[in-house]
């Protein structure tokens, strides 16, 4: 079939994408063009480059504002200027994925549940190495296992069985399992914290007239920035001054963004920021710990 015949067939009265009746150059139902033909190599290349340049332009514009103008990107979205920027959810997901990928590759010891001699999990490897070996170490860890299983058994027999399976593993297998579960569940747990973070903002700014959706938007942007800073921090291994600058900017970024988006004086904003951080960090640690524990036991 020639390109002309293909074009005529596609424009014969019904949309090939949704079967709706068509008139004009675009389908009123789904928006697909009614004049279709197999693109030439030149047309395909032009479309690809145009799409890439548009996306790249959005990305760099969004990154510039996100990094160097705290709260400005949220203000732009709230005021309706959105097409020129990358969507907040996409920014958040992109930088969270990059952060956890770098964190996983960094080889950081996340947990140490029992060493070669079944040292109690509350004692880290460096501390355990400094302490003399005691004959009761194995018995102490066994007591910890028994207490844990009894406590979980009161809540659910299934949790008790999960604890028995987990403690039956070797120390190395326990640590590998805990690490796998941590990276499997933590990103989802932190993402589910975004509505809670927005709720805290809503409570802290009662009477401001801001809708919950605006707080959620601010939560996505501010947490996307945090993931980006932490990723850069890990990438700057060995660059002490650069890491200090990144941490300093991370600390001062959020209160600066809060003032730009919500207004208010420096002292009241600082107080709100401190309350927000205490609430968020407490909830974050609780939710992540619970998610990892359930992932290990269920």
Task: Confirm if 70 and 256 have CB atoms less than 8 A apart.
Answer: yes
266-297 vs 157-167: helix crossing angle, rounded to 10: 80
pLDDT higher than 50, residue 123: no
Tokens in use for 123?
């004692």
With cut-offs at 50, 70 and 90, classify the pLDDT of residue 200: very high
pLDDT value for 36: 63
For the ranges 6-20, 89-103, 191-205, 242-256, the lowest mean pLDDT is seen at 6-20
> Residue-wise over 103-141: b if at least 16 C-beta within 10 A, else e?
beeeeeeebbbbbeebbbbebeeeebeeeeeeeebeeeb
Please say whether the dihedral angle defined by the alpha carbons of residues 222, 225, 230 and 231, taken in this order, is positive or negative. Answer: positive
Write the pLDDT tens digit of every residue in 22-43: 777 778 777 777 766 666 666 6
Q: What is the pLDDT of residue 13?
A: 74
Q: Which residue has the tokens 């860890």?
A: 141
How confident is the model over 211-239, as pLDDT tens digits? Answer: 999 999 999 999 999 999 999 998 888 88
- CA atoms within 13 Å, Cβ hemisphere of 132: 2
pTM, 2 dp: 0.69
Instruction: Taking each helix axis as running N to C, give the angle between helix 194-204 and helix 212-235, from 0 to 180 degrees, rounded to the nearest 10.
Output: 120
List the beta bridge partners of residue 176: none
Tokens 């789904």 sit at which residue?
30
**Domain parsing of the chain, residue ranges:** 3-38, 88-144+155-298
Residue-level pLDDT at 2: 47
């Amino acid at each position: 079939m020639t390109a002309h015949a293909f074009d005529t067939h596609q424009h014969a009265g019904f949309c090939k994408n949704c079967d709706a009746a068509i008139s004009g150059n675009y389908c009123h139902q789904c928006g697909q063009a009614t004049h279709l033909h197999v693109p030439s190599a030149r047309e395909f290349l032009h479309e690809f480059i145009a799409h890439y340049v548009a996306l790249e332009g959005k990305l760099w514009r969004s990154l510039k504002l996100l990094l160097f103008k705290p709260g400005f990107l949220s203000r732009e979205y709230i005021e309706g200027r959105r097409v020129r920027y990358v969507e907040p959810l996409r920014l958040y997901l992109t930088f969270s994925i990059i952060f956890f990928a770098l964190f996983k590759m960094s080889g950081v010891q996340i947990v140490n549940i029992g060493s070669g001699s079944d040292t109690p999990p509350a004692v880290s490897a460096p501390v355990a190495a400094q302490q003399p070996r005691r004959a009761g170490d194995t018995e102490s860890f066994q007591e910890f296992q028994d207490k844990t299983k009894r406590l979980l058994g009161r809540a659910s027999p299934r949790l008790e069985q999960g604890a028995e399976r987990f403690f039956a593993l070797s120390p190395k297998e326990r640590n590998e399992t805990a690490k796998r579960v941590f990276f499997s569940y933590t990103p989802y747990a932190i993402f589910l914290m975004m509505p809670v973070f927005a709720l805290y903002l809503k409570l802290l700014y009662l009477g401001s007239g801001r809708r919950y959706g605006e707080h959620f938007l601010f939560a996505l942007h501010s947490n996307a920035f945090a993931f980006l800073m932490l990723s850069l921090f890990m990438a700057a291994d060995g660059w002490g001054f650069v890491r200090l600058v990144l941490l300093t900017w991370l600390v001062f970024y959020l209160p600066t963004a809060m003032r730009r988006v919500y207004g208010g004086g420096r002292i009241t904003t600082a107080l709100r920021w401190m309350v927000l951080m205490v609430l968020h960090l407490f909830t974050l640690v609780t939710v992540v710990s619970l998610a990892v524990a359930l992932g290990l036991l269920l």
